[in-house]
Structure 1
Amino acid sequence: MPTYAIGDLQGCYLELRALLDRLAFDPQVDRLWFVGDLVNRGPDSLKVLRFVHDLGEAALVVLGNHDLHLLALAAGNSRHAKKSTLEAVLRAPDRDELLHWLRHRPLLHHDPERNFTLIHAGLPPQWDLAEAQVRAGELEAVLRGTDYQDFLRDLYGNQPDRWSPDLTGLKRLRFITNCLTRLRFCKPDGTLALTEKGSLENHTVGLVPWFRAAGRKTRSDRIIFGHWSTLGYRQEDNVWAIDSGCLWGGALTAIRLDATSLIPIQLNCKGYLAPGQD
């Protein structure tokens, strides 16, 4: 069964359809793994949501920070509303169906047969894969539960920035959320550096990308992630970064997971925002 992992879309519907045409995608046979951030900032978030939702079992999606931002807005958390392009989704007649579906997507997907794990952003070095799965499950249970709006109303924040099994309540959930949907860099001791958005060549001295952290317990696990457009497509040490900045005029990337050689398939994108815009 042909299976493709696809990088961050952020509302770039036309680019997604063009890439799928290039792949000769057949929803009756093929499967798509989306690395999160289906929505926001691009022009067609509603079209992307409807299209991926309608793919049914042909599509697997892990949640990204922009997907959670949409859910937070719908729950009444308007803290970052001015940076959003999500009004069409929030006003749509099928809004409730789409948001219910989105809220029930996983934060982490592990496929033991293909030996790949899909996340949006990163993992702290203290977690092995089994623990990462358990922590993702904690957050998924809250998002799918009856009190999910309480969590989404208090979603944002950079603290706590270091893992401890003693964390409880909102602090615990926020740390899990920030790792899986926002992490790029950390300090050598594993403390999250969530405000750092630079590239590997231009970032604050002393920080390391999460996948290069000393003693990272998932180093032997094959992980696909997105979120980091300034990193672009990159493969090293069992990690594949596939957010190649479609929104910013880069490329939309797919990799075929059942192929012998994992060679990126890329569609050049015109870009809807200039690099550096927030």
Structure 2
Amino acid sequence: MSTYLIGDIHGCYHELNALLSQVNFQASTDELWLTGDLVARGPDSLGVLRLVRDLGDSVRLVLGNHDLHLLAVYAGISCNKPKDRITTLLEAPDADELINWLRRQPVLQVDEEKRLVMAHAGITPQWDIDTARVCAREVEAMLSSDSYPLFLDSMYGDMPNNWLPELSGLARLRFSTNALTRMRFCFPKGQLDMISKDAPDSAPPPLRPWFMIPGPVSEHYSIAFGHWASLEGKGTPAGIYALDTGCCWGGDLTMLRWEDKQYFRQPASRPDDRGIETQSDAQARDITRLG
């Protein structure tokens, strides 16, 4: 049995299949961890969701901000943006089934035996592992409930940006969602900065990447995350694994085999290899690459 961790797929169905074939992935014996953002920006979000769902219990995934955006579009909370390229998914005959499966997926994975934690954006240094578990379960409970449109409508916003145990209600849920799915930089004491998307070496002071600020979780666990393609998988401390390498922007889809820490990469396919990307798709990709 092997454990494979894959960074943000973003609808890159062809590359996902090729990467799984590289290692001869066996759903009956192997385990697949996915850092979230399964959908949007790439050419085949529908194919990705169907594949991941059909892999069943062999998959341990977390939701990312683009997955939440898809849920918000489906619920009528947010607009379907052409650059997200999710219309085919929304119009699919099994869209309801896929969406209801997706909103019941976790936002945090913790494996005590492996001492491994995974969240789409990472773990705020203001949290210990017990707090991270509690806050994640609260978000998951709302997403899987009949009240999920209310939560999705309130999740947009950058405040509060400082963790306090007494946070409650929608403010608490918004902080947790931002920390788990949107965070990149923090202030020195761990408060979230939700504005800067710069590369780590060009962010304005005093901002620092969240993983450069010591915290209780990173002291005791390895952390795998996606979300930050401009890192290109580089520049993190030991025990912190950045796995989003921008496949949907023409980079690679990256996989880490946990047992021996070997990396596998699948370069983004050319449009004619995928056989489904049009000229207008390519133009949209180029226009939105920095988005």
SS at match of 1:264: strand
1:76-115 pair list within 5 angstroms: 76-79=76-79, 81-115=81-115
State the Cα distance separating 1:81 from its structure 2 match.
3.4
Which position in structure 2 is the counterpart of 1:277? 290
SS at match of 1:117: strand
Distance in 2 of aligned mates of 1:79 and 1:46: 18
Q: Which amino acid aligns with 2:125?
A: P
State the Cα distance separating 1:219 from its structure 2 match.
2.3
Distance in 1 of aligned mates of 2:153 and 2:88: 21
Which position in structure 2 is the counterpart of 1:254? 255
Which position in structure 2 is the counterpart of 1:136? 136
State the Cα distance separating 1:201 from its structure 2 match.
2.2
Which position in structure 2 is the counterpart of 1:8? 8
Which position in structure 1 is the counterpart of 2:217? 218
Q: Do the aligned partners of 1:120 and 1:181 also contact (CA within 8 Å) in 2?
A: yes
Structure 1, residues 79-104: CA drift from partner, whole Å, max 9, x if none?
Answer: 56354211111111111111111111
SS at match of 2:68: helix
Q: Structure 2 unaligned runs (5+)? A: 271-281
- Residues 1:128 and 1:80: Cα distance change in structure 2 (over 3 Å): farther
Q: Which amino acid aligns with 1:250?
A: G
Q: Which amino acid aligns with 1:129?
A: I
Q: Do the aligned partners of 1:75 and 1:153 also contact (CA within 8 Å) in 2?
A: no
SS at match of 1:32: strand
1:106-125 pair list within 5 angstroms: 106-125=106-125
Distance in 2 of aligned mates of 1:253 and 1:184: 19
State the Cα distance separating 1:29 from its structure 2 match.
1.8
- Give the alignment's TM-score, normalised by structure 1: 0.94
- Residues 1:94 and 1:57: Cα distance change in structure 2 (over 3 Å): same
Which position in structure 2 is the counterpart of 1:147? 147
Distance in 2 of aligned mates of 1:126 and 1:154: 22
State the Cα distance separating 1:229 from its structure 2 match.
0.1
Q: Do the aligned partners of 2:30 and 2:58 also contact (CA within 8 Å) in 1?
A: yes
Q: Report which of the two has the higher share of helix.
A: 2
1:15-34 pair list within 5 angstroms: 15-34=15-34
Distance in 2 of aligned mates of 1:8 and 1:195: 21
Q: Do the aligned partners of 2:160 and 2:174 also contact (CA within 8 Å) in 1?
A: yes
Q: Which amino acid aligns with 1:254?
A: M
1:122-271 pair list within 5 angstroms: 122-213=122-213, 215-220=214-219, 221-234=221-234, 235-259=236-260, 262-270=261-269
State the Cα distance separating 1:222 from its structure 2 match.
0.7
Aligned-residue CA RMSD in angstroms?
1.6
Distance in 2 of aligned mates of 1:121 and 1:226: 6
State the Cα distance separating 1:236 from its structure 2 match.
1.8
Q: Structure 1 unaligned runs (5+)? A: none
Percent identity at matched positions?
A: 45
Which position in structure 2 is the counterpart of 1:61? 61
Q: Which amino acid aligns with 2:255?
A: A
Q: Which amino acid aligns with 1:205?
A: P
State the Cα distance separating 1:200 from its structure 2 match.
1.8
**Deviates further, 113-122 or 83-92:** 83-92
Structure 1, residues 57-94: CA drift from partner, whole Å, max 9, x if none?
Answer: 12111000000000011111125635421111111111
- Give the alignment's TM-score, normalised by structure 2: 0.90
Distance in 2 of aligned mates of 1:119 and 1:263: 20
Distance in 1 of aligned mates of 2:119 and 2:253: 17
Q: Do the aligned partners of 1:72 and 1:155 also contact (CA within 8 Å) in 2?
A: no
Q: Do the aligned partners of 2:122 and 2:224 also contact (CA within 8 Å) in 1?
A: no
Which position in structure 1 is the counterpart of 2:274? none
Structure 1, residues 207-258: CA drift from partner, whole Å, max 9, x if none?
Answer: 1000111x42222211100000001113523211100111111111101112
Q: Do the aligned partners of 1:219 and 1:237 also contact (CA within 8 Å) in 2?
A: no
Structure 1, residues 120-144: CA drift from partner, whole Å, max 9, x if none?
Answer: 0022211011211111011111111
Distance in 1 of aligned mates of 2:202 and 2:266: 26
